[in-house]
Amino acid sequence: MSTVNDKRKWIHVDNVDVLLSSRASESTLSEVNDKLTQPTSLKSADVSVGTTAAAIFSESTPSRSAVLLADEGNTDTIYIGDSSAQKFPLKPGDSVRTDVSDLSAIYAYSPTDGQTLHVLWEV
């Protein structure tokens, strides 16, 4: 905790005192602040997953964290991953949480066309 005679630079964020390094760049401090601030909104979407792997969002979709939920009415498993491999299975009713910063980096496919993936994310 900073004191009156302490000449070092401190910031106070969300009840945490952080000592600023003289080597920290302005962009680094901005990134730290972005990570420490609370999300400002919650968004959701239903994504139709096909038999060819594709990004779940075609445009950049910033996110702090997200939950992906395979619809309980699906008849097959959805596989998620990145653009090169989708090996993580989500059976109907399964979900996974991720802190990926851009949801367009997540790819999905299913052996059966038309499966539904529910996406809930914080911005």
Query: Do residues 49 and 91 share a domain?
Result: yes
What tens digit of pLDDT does each residue of 77-94 get? 999 999 999 999 999 999
For 42: left if phi > 0, alpha if psi spans -120 to 50, otherwise beta; the answer is beta
pLDDT band (50, 70, 90) for residue 20: low
Query: Do residues 53 and 110 share a domain?
Result: yes
Query: Do residues 46 and 82 share a domain?
Result: yes
User: Does the pLDDT of residue 27 top 50, yes or no?
Assistant: yes
Query: Do residues 51 and 25 share a domain?
Result: no
User: Does the pLDDT of residue 1 top 60, yes or no?
Assistant: no
User: 118 has which bridge partners?
Assistant: 46, 69
Domain that holds residue 82: 42-122
* Three-state secondary-structure class, residue 30: helix
Token pair recorded at residue 4: 């009156």
Query: Do residues 55 and 78 share a domain?
Result: yes
Counting other chains too, the contacts that 84-88 makes at CB distance below 8 Å and 24 or more residues apart are 86/53
Q: For the chain, how many structural domains are there in total?
A: 2
User: 10 has which bridge partners?
Assistant: 19
User: Does the pLDDT of residue 2 top 50, yes or no?
Assistant: no
